[in-house]
């Protein structure tokens, strides 16, 4: 078990480490991380998602029990962080919501794919699990964006017109568009030629080194300018409480085997960069969100092996 963890995780952390060194030392042009992120976000990651979903039977995609357990853990972690923000740190509801997002929104898109694809090599379920875990937090953002759009919409427009505009904008998002397209393709039973399946897989797997290297570069350029207690409260909820909640709710939803350990690992991933982007858009809790991304990503070097070691004690070791 220990050898498996080292052989699997060490190369991934090494990729991130090289990116961190490049970002800290300024070895590459300033826009390099942004270019790599765009490449992954718009091309390789959607290819990996679409190819995997389109070539999978529809019955394998709709893992309702897994989705329910994962979503409940995320929502409860959000609620815990929100209550701590309001009562312990006396935050305004808006800032409390942003702190809660940083404490409950896992970086499944950029770290989930490389980690699970390495730990569960050759498993199509790994890609489906990460895709579902990426879509569920995104649905929360979709609801928030929709509410904002309805609030900001021209009063002269009909609600249906505004709803159509919102849905079209969301479908243009590469990850959401690729996911919806892959699910529809699978449901229609169209299948994919072997050449296209290989293309989507091989091209999509470029997401692994590019995403990790780019994440490392972003971390290397970040800094810490936030209260230690503030940062500790967010990090503990994200990296400790949320995966514990995931284990509880997934078991309660009768999820077992690889799906259970994958759900726990995905819930315990670091804070997603999107939490910082949302905070920046609101102009609140920007430093805190940035620090949460940095610290939680560094902590995952310890928490992921610890989660796997603990899981093995309960008979959930890797094959």
Write out pLDDT tens, residues 207-256. 878 877 887 887 777 655 667 777 888 889 999 999 999 999 999 999 98
Distances 20 to 28, 222, 270, 304 between C-alpha atoms, Å = 11, 10, 16, 19
**pLDDT digits 0-9 by tens, 74-101:** 989 988 988 888 777 676 666 777 788 8
Mean per-residue pLDDT for 22-33? 85
CA distance 181 to 135: 13
- Domains and their CATH numbers in the chain: 1-314 (1.20.1530.20)
Q: Whose structure tokens read 């042009």?
A: 29
Q: How far apart are the first and last CA of the chain?
A: 9
Would you say residue 283 has pLDDT above 60? yes
Cβ atoms < 10 Å from Cβ of 280: 14
Can you say whether the dihedral through the CA atoms of 57, 58, 60, 61 is positive or negative?
Answer: positive
Would you say residue 143 has pLDDT above 60? no
Give exposure, 62-88, as e/b (b: 16+ Cβ within 10 Å): ebebbbbbbbbbbebbbebbbebbbee
Would you say residue 157 has pLDDT above 80? no
Which DSSP string do the residues of 232-286 spell out, in sequence order? Answer: HHHHHIIIIIHHHHHHHHHHHTT--HHHHHHHHHHHTSPBPHHHHHHHHHHTSSH
Would you say residue 286 has pLDDT above 80? no
What's the predicted TM-score (pTM) here? 0.76
CA distance 102 to 255: 26
- Angle between helix axes 124-152 and 64-87 (nearest 10 degrees) is 50
Please give the residue that has the higher pLDDT: either 293 or 276: 293
């Amino acid at each position: 078990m220990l050898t498996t963890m080292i052989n699997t995780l060490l190369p991934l952390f090494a990729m991130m480490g090289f990116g961190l060194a490049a970002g800290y030392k300024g070895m590459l042009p300033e826009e390099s991380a942004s270019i790599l992120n765009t490449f992954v976000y718009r091309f390789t990651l959607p290819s990996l998602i679409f190819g995997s979903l389109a070539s999978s039977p529809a019955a394998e995609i709709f893992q309702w029990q897994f989705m329910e357990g994962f979503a409940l853990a995320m929502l409860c972690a959000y609620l815990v962080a929100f209550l701590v923000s309001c009562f312990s740190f006396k935050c305004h509801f808006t800032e409390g919501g942003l702190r809660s997002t940083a404490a409950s929104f896992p970086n499944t898109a950029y770290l989930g794919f490389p980690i699970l694809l390495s730990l569960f090599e050759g498993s199509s379920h790994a890609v489906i699990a990460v895709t579902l875990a990426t879509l569920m937090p995104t649905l929360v953002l979709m609801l928030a964006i929709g509410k904002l759009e309805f609030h900001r919409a021209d009063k002269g427009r009909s609600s249906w017109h505004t709803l159509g505009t919102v849905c079209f904008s969301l479908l243009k998002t590469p990850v959401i568009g690729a996911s919806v397209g892959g699910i529809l393709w699978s449901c229609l039973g169209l299948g994919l030629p072997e050449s296209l399946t290989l293309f989507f897989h091989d091209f999509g797997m470029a997401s692994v080194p590019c995403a990790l290297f780019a994440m490392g570069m972003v971390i290397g350029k970040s800094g810490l300018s936030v209260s230690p207690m503030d940062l500790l409260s967010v990090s503990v909820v994200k990296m400790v409480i949320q995966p514990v909640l995931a284990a509880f709710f997934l078991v309660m939803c009768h999820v077992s085997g690889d799906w259970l350990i994958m759900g726990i690992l995905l819930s315990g991933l670091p804070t997603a960069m999107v939490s910082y982007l949302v905070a920046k858009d609101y102009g609140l809790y920007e430093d805190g969100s940035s620090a949460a991304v940095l610290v939680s990503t560094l902590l995952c070097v310890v928490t992921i092996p610890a989660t796997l070691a603990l899981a093995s004690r309960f008979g959930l070791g890797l094959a």
